[in-house]
A and B are shown apart, each in its own frame.
Chain A
Amino acid sequence: MSKRSIEIWVGVFVSAGIAALIMIAMQVSNLSSMSTGNTYQVKAVFENIGSLNVRSPIKASGVLVGRVSDISYDDQHYAATVTLSIKSHVKFPKDTSASIYTAGLLGEQYIGLTPGADEEYLAEGDTIMFADAAIILEKLVGQMMLNKLSD
């Protein structure tokens, strides 16, 4: 086995391996759908976030526009502060409202944005005024039972 053909084979091996890695990363995992471009951060305060996660999707009219980048608990207001990273080419009015929805009955939770009518746009560091808490299934069931009882 000459030195040159060893080098060629090693070259083939390494590039096949890297190609496989890239194929898996782009084609199989969600890397390609993850925003890799520039984003701007806005905050939203929710009374309850349910099972929202860091990297949960943010959608507007069902289209992915960003991801949750941070979740923390604010002990001044006793509420959850969620940081939303939104693709910088997507603009939303100042009075946009955010709600936490569930995809399907038992699917993952995501933040849905509903644009308002303000002239000005949300910018880096702003806080979304209107934020609806997550719908907690247990609460809902409890409420329904209460309603039934009081009927």
Chain B
Amino acid sequence: MTSVLRVIADLMSNVGQSGLHFFARVGRSIQFLLTLFRALPSLLPRPDLIIKQLYSVGVMTIVIVLVSGAFVGLVLGLQGYNVLVRFNSESSLGTMVGLSLIRELGPVITALLFAGRAGSSLTAELGLMKATEQFSSMEMMAVDPFKRVIAPRFIAGIISMPLLAAIFSAVGILGGYFVGVGLLGVDAGAFWSQMQNSVDFYEDFMNGVWKSIAFGFTSTWIALYQGYDAVPTAEGVSRATTQGVVNASLVVLALNFIITALTLETN
């Protein structure tokens, strides 16, 4: 009897421990974000730092975004045509491709790719800098690593994400156009005009843009925090990198649901 009670007590204490651990981490990451915000104004006179990071965060992610965007668009074209042709409404292919890319697939898939490509390299880079005492040495050189290392990466992430998502959607739409109009014979005029009629600038386009900015914000934040908070050993850095990608992907998907539920007008 007592052994059963002990098992239950152990279980409870495990749950409690991981709960406390979780909240401590959330608290630290919010503290991290606040420190980061305070460091942002110091970037104004140093746009060169942001440009350097735009290269490693944005430019390095373009290829994977282009390729994925094209394939997603091609598949959307095929699948969409296949479904719509049954209802004799293959002229709505543009609507389907455009809406799904702009509202959902563009921001979400780009954010997942972003977390995998740019986020992981940010985490690994910061973790390595911590493990080799580079943050400490900057502090001792009277240089604030938040101002010189973390803030420019954060801003570069927020700028890159909406641009990457737009590139993804644009390439995807062209891919859908290629399959639908080029291969399957949907009328080009109908493709574009149907799309224009049903994609609203504010409700759909801006919604997608806001989403991608929000995703850029969160996934960059998580990636940077994981790197900054990593255990400064080789094992700690690799674990932080994996953890960063997993956390960022989950948070992006959850956030996507919340934003969609809040903004989708159901009238």
Contacts and interface: CB of A to CB of B under 8 A. Distances in A.
A128 to B, nearest CB: 25
B201 interface: yes
A20 B160 CA distance: 13
Nearest to A7: B51
Chain B at the A interface: SS class:
helix
Nearest to A6: B55
A28 interface: yes
B107 interface: no
A28 B202 CA distance: 12
B54 A17 contact: no
B201 A21 contact: no
Interface in A12-42: 12-14, 16-21, 23-25, 27-34
Interface string A32-57: 11100000000000000001010100
Contacts of A137: none
A28 B196 contact: yes
Interface stretch (B12-20, B161-169, B227-235, B240-248): B161-169
Contact of B201 (A16, A25, A53): A25
B52 interface: yes
B192 A27 contact: yes
Contacts of B173: 24, 28
Nearest to A14: B163
A24 B59 contact: no
Contacts of B202: 55
A24 B54 contact: no
A145 interface: no
A54 to B, nearest CB: 10
A87 to B, nearest CB: 17
Interface string B234-267: 0000000000000000000000000000000001
Interface string B184-221: 00000000100111011110110001000000000000
B51 A24 contact: no
Contact of A29 (B52, B55, B204): B204
Interface residues of B, number: 32
B102 interface: yes
B167 A33 contact: no
Contacts of B51: 6-7, 10
Chain A at the B interface: SS class:
helix
Contacts of B162: 17, 21
B98 interface: yes
Interface string B157-187: 0011011101101110100000000000000
Contacts of A12: 59
A114 to B, nearest CB: 23
B20 to A, nearest CB: 42
A53 B200 CA distance: 13
Contact of B54 (A13, A23, A30, A32): A13
Given A13-B62, A29-B201, A20 B163 contact: yes
B167 A20 contact: yes
Contact of B58 (A10, A21, A55): A10
Given A6-B51, A6-B55, A16-B62, A33 B196 contact: yes
Interface string B69-84: 0000000000000000
A24 B102 contact: yes
B55 A9 contact: yes
A13 B163 contact: yes
Interface of B: 51-52, 54-55, 58-59, 62, 98, 102, 159-160, 162-164, 166-167, 169-171, 173, 192, 195-197, 199-202, 204-205, 209, 267
Closest 8 CB pairs of A and B: A17-B163, A20-B170, A20-B166, A31-B201, A29-B205, A21-B166, A29-B201, A29-B199
